[in-house]
Amino acid sequence: MTSQDAYTALLDHARQIEALGQVAGLLSWDQEAMMPPNGAEARAEQAGAMSSVLHAKRTDLRIPEWIAAIDANSLDSAGRANLRLMQRNYDRATRTPADLATEIARKTARGHGVWADARARGDVSTFLPTLSEIVELVREQAVCLATDEQSAYDALVDIYEPGATADSIAAIFARLRTGLVDLRGRIAEKAVDVPVLTGTYPAEAQRALANKLAEVFEYDLKAGRIDLVVHPFCSGTRGDVRITTRVDEGDPFNCLYSTVHETGHAIYEQGLDPALAWQPAGGHASMGVHESQSRLCENQIGRSQAFCTYLFPQMQAHFSDFALGSADDLYRAINRVHEGYIRTEADEIHYNLHIMLRFELERALICGDLQVVDLENEWNARFEADFGRAVDHPENGVLQDVHWSAGLFGYFPTYALGNIYAGELFAAMQNALPDLQDDIRDGKLREPVEWLRANIHRPGSLESPSDTIARACGHKPTEAPLLDYLNLKFGALYDL
């Protein structure tokens, strides 16, 4: 087999894997957005069948043969990235024994229901046996995945953020924490009165404005759709990227900012380089980079004073009884700093503290320093230390997030990495686009989105996640621009 033939065969195989992976993704979207309740049992069977088909494709013994037959020097940068990613994916798939993968899939499929039940009843103890089994299985998987240089937890982090390690994350989180705690302390000293939204906001009007905002952020509805779910997410890639959102008639910002957040994810997928379609190098770089796109849209742009100037008349036009009196009131209302229990409702400062708590607990769980039976106490103690208030209910504490019941360990830190990357990217974007604030004020986001496309979306996975960010912002990413941005923004808001 010539090098060219082997490369063609490898790409063809990658294309099949990508196509089948997209099908599996559609199954998940449908399950949350469309499936009738009685479809659940068959859906589990369908998802299981797809997962076993995908596992077989990903561990196809011809993959290493093709790779061995390819002369890497004959390839361009995309070709070399494809080779690296196919090798990486093959290694990961073959390192996890098929039985273990099946057992994890089965246990986490059931885990969701057990978690949801325990959460609804506020009874942590009914979730712990399942969580113990899941932690045990994921730890076993992590040990299988880890290279000589990696700890078990490193291997899990590497799934979602290739190249990141627990130590590198801990270091950047420690510096970020210092800045956040300092800023929060200064805010707490001020007793600033923040406007709070009251009233009722009809679902249809919320959805109409959400659709409009998605389009303002350059979401292409010819390549997507927006539906309602319980927990919003974004699904799909390129020509078919679907957003989901939710509606709370007492809080239109929930729907609007969920939508803008998911739009940030969606425009990343819609903006990937068409020339690299179906190639591993053409996919998104990492979950952290993904989150940087959603958070930059949601926060750096969407919660900015400039955007509130655009949004305020939109709110008035869509809601006849909009209860806030000015763009400035709107700006202050949506940026209220408060020590809430819930990560997904946290302000830009506390959000990262929520993530650090989870990162440290899950890292300890995986490396064996913390046992599941002690998790709730540890969570509550850590929360009180970090947030200055006691957890009142497990739903507001250790049971609030779905991730661990789904076997997702190593995923949480990518949320805060996303914020750090967003800080870097927004600083670079501001330097590159002198009219940025004016454009945001006018609701004209074509230029900033095009900057993201050129610097993040189209480069895809050609380089590692941190190299992708470094190329976009001109240096190795650090927490500094995020802290500068937060200090400037909340310094002005809270008159520090």
Q: Is 13 in the site for a copy of itself (CB under 8 A)?
A: no
Distance from C-alpha of 107 to C-alpha of 407, rounded to nearest angstrom: 9
Pick 37 or 434: Cβ nearer a copy of itself: 37
Stated as kind and residue range, the H or E segment containing 160 is helix 152-160
Distance from C-alpha of 353 to C-alpha of 339, rounded to nearest angstrom: 10
Among 3, 8, 22, 430, the residue binding a copy of itself under the rule CB under 8 A is 22
Q: Is 262 a catalytic residue?
A: yes
- Choosing from 103, 133, 249, 262, which is the catalytic residue? 262
Instruction: Please state, in angstroms and as integers, the Cα–Cα distance from residue 365 to each residue in 84, 102, 239, 313, 461, following that order.
Output: 31, 22, 40, 49, 30
Among 3, 15, 246, 339, the residue binding a copy of itself under the rule CB under 8 A is 15
Rounded to the nearest whole angstrom, what is the least distance from the CB of residue 28 to a copy of itself in the complex?
12
Tell me how many residues contact a copy of itself (CB under 8 A): 39
Residue 305: half-sphere exposure toward Cβ, Cα within 13 Å? 10
Q: Is 342 in the site for a copy of itself (CB under 8 A)?
A: no
Using the contact rule CB under 8 A, the part of the chain among 12-20, 74-82, 279-287, 428-436 near a copy of itself is 12-20
Using the contact rule CB under 8 A, the part of the chain among 3-11, 16-24, 140-148, 333-341 near a copy of itself is 16-24
Q: Is 434 in the site for a copy of itself (CB under 8 A)?
A: no
Among 1, 11, 20, 432, the residue binding a copy of itself under the rule CB under 8 A is 20
Instruction: Please state, in angstroms and as integers, the Cα–Cα distance from residue 280 to each residue in 61, 232, 241, following that order.
Output: 18, 26, 18
Pick 42 or 390: Cβ nearer a copy of itself: 42
Q: Is 199 in the site for a copy of itself (CB under 8 A)?
A: no
Distance from C-alpha of 339 to C-alpha of 384, rounded to nearest angstrom: 10
Is 107 in a helix, a strand, or coil? helix
Is 226 in a helix, a strand, or coil? strand
Residues 6+ apart with CB under 8 A from 204: none
Torsion-angle region of 278 (φ positive above 0: left; ψ -120 to 50: alpha; else: beta): left
Pick 202 or 340: Cβ nearer a copy of itself: 202
User: Quick check: 131 and 111 in contact, CB under 8 A?
Assistant: yes
Pick 232 or 443: Cβ nearer a copy of itself: 232
Q: Which residues are catalytic?
A: 262
Residues of this chain that interact with a copy of itself (CB under 8 A) are: 15-16, 19-20, 22-23, 26-27, 30, 34-43, 45-46, 48-50, 52-53, 220-225, 236-240, 242, 278
